[in-house]
Every structure is written in C-alpha cells, then in structure tokens.
Amino acid sequence: DGGITQSPKYLFRKEGQNVTLSCEQNLNHDAMYWYRQDPGQGLRLIYYSQIVNDFQKGDIAEGYSVSREKKESFPLTVTSAQKNPTAFYLCASRAGTAITDTQYFGPGTRLTVL
C-alpha cells in the first residue's frame, strides 16, 4: 500500500536532548512537509522540501532542522534550542508543483518533553 509513515507514534524526551522524528513516503512524491500542531490549534509549517537536497524554512523553523538526502525520506530533528517542543508533529507529501497536487498526511508523532 502506498502511503506516508511516521515513527514513532509517541516519543518522550528529556529536556536538553535532541530527538529525530522519521517520515517516509512511498508515493514517489517530490515535495514533503513538516507541521506542528498544538492542542486546539491549527497547523504551523516548520520546514518543507520541494526536491532532494533542498529545503526551505517555514513559519516556525527555529529550533528544528531537517535533511532531504533521499526522495522518500524527510526526517525532522527537534533540537534542544526549541523552547517548547511538546506538540503533535505531522508530516505531509505532495506529488509535485502541478496545480492539482494535494498534500497527503502521515499519522503523526506526539512528542512529549519530560
């Protein structure tokens, strides 16, 4: 089945530690995205990548880093510089830049800082 997988589903981290969230897609999509969702809030864009080896900051990139070494993978690292990292993180992908392309989402990772 084609789709987007995110792992782990739940993640706990101690303050001061970096942690990496995984996002993999087998849809052969060019573009990938990371969003953050806080309780009762909408989605805020962290980073996005339109092609391999290229990515752009979104609206709340501070304290996060990404890489795009392979088309199917777009891992997100939450660094210790992120002051309030507890949130629900959603990864999405999109086929390309065609007018009809839609973003499809993974199941999400819930990160809790202890």
In the complex, the residues that contact another protein under the rule CB under 8 A are 31, 33, 40-43, 45, 48, 50, 58, 88, 90, 92, 94, 97-108, 110
- Would you say 33 or 64 has its CB closer to another protein? 33
**Both tokens assigned to 41:** 């809030």
C-alpha angle 35-64-95 in degrees, rounded to nearest 5: 40
CB of 97 to another protein, least distance (A): 4
**Both tokens assigned to 54:** 């290229």
CB of 106 to another protein, least distance (A): 7
CB of 24 to another protein, least distance (A): 15
- Would you say 18 or 96 has its CB closer to another protein? 96
Which of 40, 37, 4 has its CA nearest to residue 23?
4
Can you spell out the DSSP letters for 6-43? EE-SEEEE-TT--EEEEEEE-S--SEEEEEEE-TT--E
- Would you say 11 or 79 has its CB closer to another protein? 11
